[in-house]
């Protein structure tokens, strides 16, 4: 299992144009950039993110930290680690 991922809360932003929540996190001493697609938030909540994507992201942050840590291990050379529905399985 990957090390615990620490989200930089100040970096969390809602990119509604790209339909994703973007943030920087530290894992194993390295900073990595992440993007969680709205479809992931919809899958977790059952509702389509509209003006509440950041709230949804916060509500499911415990699950998302684990998913992001696993994705970071699988894609060590990615500039931005994009989390989509396939990462939830």
Q: Which residues lie closer than 8 Å to 30 by C-beta, 6 or more apart?
A: none
| Cβ contact 20:64 at 8 Å | no
Dmax (CA) for the chain in angstroms is 35
What is the pLDDT at residue 16?
A: 93
* Residue ranges per structural domain of the chain: 6-88
> What are 55-75's pLDDT values in tens digits?
999 999 999 999 999 999 999
1 pLDDT above the threshold of 50: no
Task: Give the distance, in angstroms, between the CA of residue 44 and the centroid of all CA atoms in the same chain.
Answer: 12
What is the pLDDT at residue 3?
A: 62
Q: How many helices (H) and strands (E) does the chain have?
A: 3, 5
85 pLDDT above the threshold of 90: yes
- CATH fold, domain 6-88, is Double Stranded RNA Binding Domain (3.30.160)
Identify which of 4, 1, 41 has the alpha carbon closest to the alpha carbon of residue 19.
Answer: 41
DSSP 69: H
> What are 6-55's pLDDT values in tens digits?
999 999 999 999 999 999 999 988 999 999 999 999 999 999 998 999 99
Dihedral of the alpha carbons of 38, 39, 44, 47, in degrees to the nearest 10 = 80
């Amino acid at each position: 299992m990957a090390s615990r991922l620490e989200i930089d809360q100040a970096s969390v932003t809602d990119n509604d144009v790209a339909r994703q929540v973007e943030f920087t996190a530290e894992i194993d001493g390295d900073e990595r950039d992440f993007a969680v697609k709205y479809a992931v938030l919809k899958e977790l909540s059952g509702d389509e993110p509209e003006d509440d994507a950041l709230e949804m992201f916060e509500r499911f942050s415990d699950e998302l930290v684990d998913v992001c840590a696993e994705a970071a291990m699988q894609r060590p050379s990615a500039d931005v680690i994009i989390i989509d529905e396939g990462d939830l399985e």
